[in-house]
Amino acid sequence: MDKKNTSPIYWPWLPAAFALAGIIVFIFATFGPPASSSGFVSLIKGAVQTVAPGYVENNPHYATMPDTGSWLFAFVLGMAIGGFAAGRTGRIQVRDIPEIWEKRFGNSRIKRFAATFAGGFIILFASRLAGGCTLGLFISGSTQLAVSGLYFGVLIFAVAMVTAHLVYGNTGKEE
């Protein structure tokens, strides 16, 4: 197979929807409620607990988090390693800098990675500030047809479109 073929290959939406639904049903049936990507919080809890154990004991936010050493951190680490390996070994070439980003901001990897990290940090901070997890609320909530999950899904897509327009402007329409 031609490794240089960079045209994206997507599943049609209907089989993709059934595949996602099947995965979620499997997770519910085998492990209970879907997993969370909040594993880093347990790591932070452990670090803060080492320095200030009284603060962690009296903080209601940390009381809801699992202790350090839970499977959540391994889960998050596994997602990162798995994503990296899939991106580097798959038949679809993964670019560190998307074409639309390069057109708008140049080809600096440092700038791209810094912007990605900052965006991820803002999303993570906001979700933790709200006492939730974007993955849990959207994927788990919407698949259970919870109004809060569906409402959050609509809002997150609306905000994503506005943010993409603010970041990229009309860069993608120039072709």
Angle 25-134-125 from CA coordinates, rounded to 5°: 155
pLDDT at 161: 92
Q: For 23-77, how does the pLDDT look when each residue is reduced to its tens digit (9 = 90+)?
A: 777 776 776 555 555 566 677 777 888 888 888 888 887 777 767 665 666 667 7
The arithmetic mean of pLDDT across residues 79-102, rounded, is 83
Whether residue 137 is predicted with pLDDT greater than 90 in this model: the reply is no
Q: pLDDT grade, residue 174 (50/70/90)?
A: low
pLDDT at 40: 65
Within 8 A by CB and 6+ apart from 22, the residues are none
pLDDT at 8: 60
Residue 48: Cβ-neighbour burial (10 angstroms; 0-12, 13-18, 19+)? middle
Whether residue 1 is predicted with pLDDT greater than 50 in this model: the reply is no
pLDDT at 73: 66
Within 8 A by CB and 6+ apart from 62, the residues are 45, 48, 49, 56
DSSP run (H or E) holding 88? helix 71-89
Q: Please tell me the number of Cα atoms within 13 Å of 144 on its side-chain side.
A: 15
